[in-house]
Structure 1
Amino acid sequence: MLDGNNILKQNKMKRNIIILLVLFTGLLSLQSCKEEFMKPIYGKTGAPASIKNAIVENVPGGAVISYTLPDDVNLLYVKAVYERKGKMVESKSSFYKRDVVVEGLGDTNPREVKLYAVSRSEEASEPVSVTINPLAPPIYDVLESLDIKESFGGMNIKFENKTSTGERPYNIIIGIVAWDETLSEWKDVDAHYTALPEGGFSVRGLEAVERKFGFFVKDTWDNITDTLAMNLTPVYEEQLGAPTYMRQKFPVPQIRPLPVDGSPVAEPGNLSSWPFTALFDNTIGNNGFHSNEKNPLPAWFAMDFGQKVRLSRYKLWQRMHDDNSTYFYSHGNPHEWEIWATNTPSDVNSWVMIDHRIMQKPSGLPIGQVTNDDVEIARAGHEYELPLETEAYRYIAWKHIDNWASINGALGFLHMSELRFWGQKVK
């Protein structure tokens, strides 16, 4: 007869055996699943027939080859195999399409392209060979389109990149170099990355001396144009000191309708924790200048530089909330404004408008929705350039027309994190 201790020992042994059996069964199950997972989804079904009726359309930097697909339910895609910069590369097109794109070629030399129909089990048909004669790559059209002009602190460059589309963007780099007389070589100055079909950018921070500059265009596949050289003399500018806030009333021109209360000047005021001086403290984020809310619009904010200055450009940074993009293109950040200037602020007829802007959100999405490009541009700051012929003034006024939260509104407010001015001081 078994005692209690022996019974307990036997029960314990049974439990251990059961646990081992469960673990062993589980391992077998996992191994079975693993083996099943490793099997190919599609078995060998045989290579499909070749494509037919290949037609070549030569385009800049490559070709578009259209064809008739074989009638095969296992067809997955068509691939084109060709040489690019000394290496064999492939372009693929799914069975939903009837053409394949050969791209990234940096010359106009004829070359052979082999086309294969490929099944779901990655079996390739016999090749069909065609010869293409690519046109000059688009980088040369971009180089030819460059419109380069001397500007304050550097130059302005406009470009066209017509090959680039939303469906098939053409990424390029527009490089700027300067000739080093001592070393007899080009030195990097700046580079602009873009896939836009057209646009412009500025190069800043250059000395106001004549130098030989070079411009080239490069694409994703390292195709590069020759260097376009020209002598340029940037126009002298410097970052101006912070202007003071003019608190006294002054007469302003009323090009637009008067504010709703009929007063000639809206009294913006400012929140005590967001003083006007914080607009020029070189700190960007959830800080800066914040006017009182529900001001009649337009509202005027007048500034005194203390002497005459010829403004060349200015840059503003939107307020962001807690180091994120919550307020970008929203809330009290400026949407539309004008800048007026004078040397005799008491004379209403002396004020002239020197700039008018409507801030553009790159994505064009509704308020409250932003893309990564929207955020990056806002973080970098929005820069606006004035014409070279702008005259010198001591006093300017920011005419706040509306903010992003109150577009075309009769009431509103304004906040910005930072505002900086550049130009020339005039004695």
Structure 2
Amino acid sequence: MFKIQLQHILAIAAAGYLFSCTKAIDYNDPVSDDKTKPEAISNIKVSNFKGGSFITYSLPKTENLLYVKADYVINDVTGKKRQTKSSYYSDTIKVEGFAEKKEYEVTLTAVTRANVESDPVTVKVHPDTPVYKLVAKSLQISADFGGVNVQTSNVNKKPVGAIVLYKPDGAPDYAIYEQRFSDIEQVSFSSRGFDTLPKQFAVYITDQWGNNSDTVYKTINPLFEVQLDKNKFFGNTLPSDGKVGFGWVLERLWDGNHGSGWHTVQESMPLPIVATIGLGVSAKLSRFKLIGRSGYEFAHGNPKVFSIWGSNVAAPADAVLPVFAEEGAVIGDWVNLGNYTWPGPPSGANPTSPTAADRAVYNQGMEFNVPFSAPKTRFFRMAVSESWSGATMAHAMEVYIYGNTN
């Protein structure tokens, strides 16, 4: 069954605004009795940007003027149209969502409170290359553990979506397998759930106005991945590791019970708070899933900022880990496998007051990718540099670790 995962979709929805004005206005104000036809706008100037244009003008001298509207086609292929409005408080209107870097016509009309329209004025705009096309230029897809990895650069940090398509053997066409929406600068995610046989994938970039880039097609052999056997895990507490409190011993972190976990003492302790797990095998890690403590979502000692360190030696010596180190940094027998931040509430609410939906998402756990460049490891060492409460303690309920043990 195909799955659709929407990430940061609130950023896309919020960006789909219809009006551009300097002051909020109700376009349903009581109708005026003045049926005088307004003059057309004049002194038009255009300033172009990526995917759109600002149009400035002089307003007609009409006392009951309500707004100026712009009507335009944003995609010549689909014929899709947009309309934006700007109130009489402003001398500028923003038109955007254009699919190409080319010339477009925009029709501007002044409208009174009596809903009487001026003669339309047509202006030509020439928006620069839209962001979705710029993002598509750096789009790359490659094999990953259990699936395909998608990477691209969004230097403008505008909302875009990366759409992953998959064509099963014998299927007549591709279908959407996963969708990821975000406005972050460096986009990197993996679509998983596949065996290692050759698979037909495709990816394209879209924006909030429904413009789609060219599609990149590629046949990929996903890399072998398994969930590491928790029966082989063992506690490998080192002198600089966090001191366990309340009887919440380290072994509870992989006992399969999300109602119990690992918890350090609530005392003034040096950061980071560290826990070291022996994996029982040497594995190239692909990802891990961490389950936080329910009832304390985005709070208390649940990890917020942390790193994962690994060692592939049989009995690694202790090393005092820093609060932060670059990915790939080596300290003694340990190498930094990745740095992570647990995302805040999906709704955008303050972490101190998450919604019920935010809590539900949190309690499903959070999955984190291990960089493909990370070396094989026999030990999984989590170093919490910041908890959600800022206290010098940490707790977590369960960890699931994946990778290639061959």
The TM-score range, normalised by the shorter chain, is 0.7 to 0.9
1:319 corresponding residue in structure 2? 293
**Contact 2:99–2:211, Cα closer than 8 Å, also in 1:** yes
TM-aligned CA deviation for residue 228 of structure 1: 1.2
Q: CA deviation at 1:244?
A: 6.2
| 1:34 corresponding residue in structure 2 | none
- Deviation of 1:177 after TM superposition, in Å, equals 1.7
Q: Residues 160 and 95 (structure 1 numbering): CA distance in 2 closer, same or farther, change over 3 Å?
A: farther
- Gaps in structure 2 of 5+ consecutive residues: 1-27, 320-331
Pair 1:356–1:219, CA change in 2 (3 A): closer
* TM-score using structure 1 length: 0.70
CA deviation map 1:72-123 (0-9, x unaligned)? 3322211012335436542111223322222333356644322111223322
The 10-residue stretch of structure 1 (227-236 or 104-113) with the greater mean CA deviation from structure 2: 104-113
Aligned to 1:306: 280
Counterparts of 1:237-248 in structure 2 under 5 Å?
237-242=225-230, 246=234
Q: Does 1:351 align with 2:333?
A: yes
- The CA deviation at 1:299 is 4.5
For 1:69, the equivalent position in structure 2 comes to 59
Determine the structure 1 residue equivalent to 2:243: 268
- What amino acid maps onto 1:332 in structure 2? G
Q: Secondary structure at the match of 1:296?
A: coil
Q: 2:369 aligns with which of 345, 365, 385?
A: 385
Kept after mapping to 2: 8 A contact 1:278/1:289: yes
* TM-score, scaled to structure 2: 0.73
In the TM superposition, residue 402 of structure 1 has moved relative to its aligned partner by 4.5
Is residue 2:190 matched to residue 1:191? no
CA RMSD of aligned residues (A): 3.7
Does structure 2 retain, via aligned residues, the 8 Å contact 1:266–1:296? no
Does the aligned pair in 2 maintain the 1:245–1:302 contact within 8 Å?
A: no
Q: 1:379 to 1:61 in 2, by over 3 A?
A: farther
Unaligned runs of 5+ in 1: 1-37, 253-263
Percent identity over the alignment? Answer: 26
1:309 and 1:109, CA in 2 relative to 1: closer, same or farther beyond 3 A?
closer
- Counterpart residue number, 2:397: 417
Mapped to 1, the partners of 2:226 and 2:44 lie a distance apart of 61
Shift of 1:423: 0.9
Of 103, 113, 132 in structure 1, the residue corresponding to residue 96 of structure 2 is 103
| Contact kept in structure 1, 2:234 and 2:251, CA below 8 Å | no
Structure 2 counterpart SS, 1:394: strand
Distance 1:189 1:310 in 2: 26
Match of 2:222 in 1: 234
Contact 1:143 1:225 in 2 (8 A): yes
Of Structure 1 and Structure 2, which has the larger fraction of its residues in helix? 1
How far, CA to CA, are the matches of 1:192 and 1:225 in structure 2? 15
In the alignment, structure 1 residue 294 sits paired with structure 2 residue 263: no
Q: Which structure ranks higher in relative contact order (CA pairs < 8 Å, sequence separation ≥ 6)?
A: 2
Alignment-mate amino acid for residue 269 of structure 1? V
Residues 1:333 and 2:333 aligned together: no
DSSP 3-state at the match of 1:185: coil
For residues 99 and 29 of structure 2, the distance between their equivalents in structure 1, rounded to whole angstroms, comes to 42
CA distance in 1, matches of 2:343, 2:90: 35
Q: Which one has the largest radius of gyration? A: 1
What SS class does the counterpart of residue 141 from structure 1 fall into? helix
- Alpha-carbon deviations, 1:233-286, whole Å to 9, x = none? 32211111226675576xx5xxxxxxxxxxx445622434x55454335565x6
Residue number among 150, 157, 165 corresponding to 1:157 in the alignment: 150
Q: Secondary structure, in 3 states, of the residue corresponding to 1:406?
A: coil
Count the aligned residue pairs. Answer: 360
Equivalent residue of 2:389, what SS?
helix
Separation of aligned partners in 1, 2:256 and 2:57: 60
Describe the superposition over 1:10-45 as per-residue Cα deviations: whole angstroms up to 9, x where unpaired: xxxxxxxxxxxxxxxxxxxxxxxxxxxx99364335
When residues 164 and 126 of structure 1 are mapped into structure 2, their CA distance, relative to the original with a 3 A threshold, is: farther
Counterparts of 1:108 and 1:336, CA distance in 2: 43
Letter in 2 for 1:403: S
Distance 1:88 1:396 in 2: 54
